[in-house]
Amino acid sequence: MTSTVLVLSGPNLNLLGERDPAIYGSATLADIEAAVGARAQGYGLVVEHHQSNHEGDLVDLVHSARDRCAAIIVNPGALTHYGWSLHDALATFDGPVVEVHLSNPAAREPWRHTSVVAPVAAGTIAGFGPDGYLHAVDAVARLLGVSG
């Protein structure tokens, strides 16, 4: 079995550290990627990171992960609430999918309360800032039966 975990970051996550730090914190996407890589390495997992502001790019990345990656961690950004093509692509992936959000969408504006990704994810981790990504790596390791 492959030990690669695909980590996908959706629209506007390239602006982490600059965009609304009161909500999203001061960590950059590069900071999060480094922390995720270090955590995954402790489980013997390899992480492949991609960020895109375009839904179709994320769909293509999910398609390319089929039969190549063991799991997917995804922060779909605003696509969480309307990205049905991302939902459909994730539904074709055989490994575990963990959805992660820096903020807690359920505690924010009503339009953020629904996730179209959640039905195809093993679970959702939200509201823990950058640590949520580390929790997601831990969850993926458990779901894959990998110990550190």
Backbone angles phi, psi at 131, to 5 degrees: -60, -25
The 3-state secondary structure of the chain, one letter per residue: CCCEEEEEECCCHHHCCCCCHHHHCCCCHHHHHHHHHHHHHHCCCEEEEEECCCHHHHHHHHHHHCCCCCEEEEECHHHHHCCHHHHHHHHCCCCCEEEEECCCHHHCCHHHCCCCCHHHCCEEEECCCCHHHHHHHHHHHHHHCCCC
Spot the catalytic one: 43, 87, 101, 133.
101
Annotated active-site residue 54? The verdict is no
Spot the catalytic one: 24, 43, 87, 133.
24
Annotated active-site residue 63? The verdict is no
Just list the catalytic residues. Answer: 24, 101
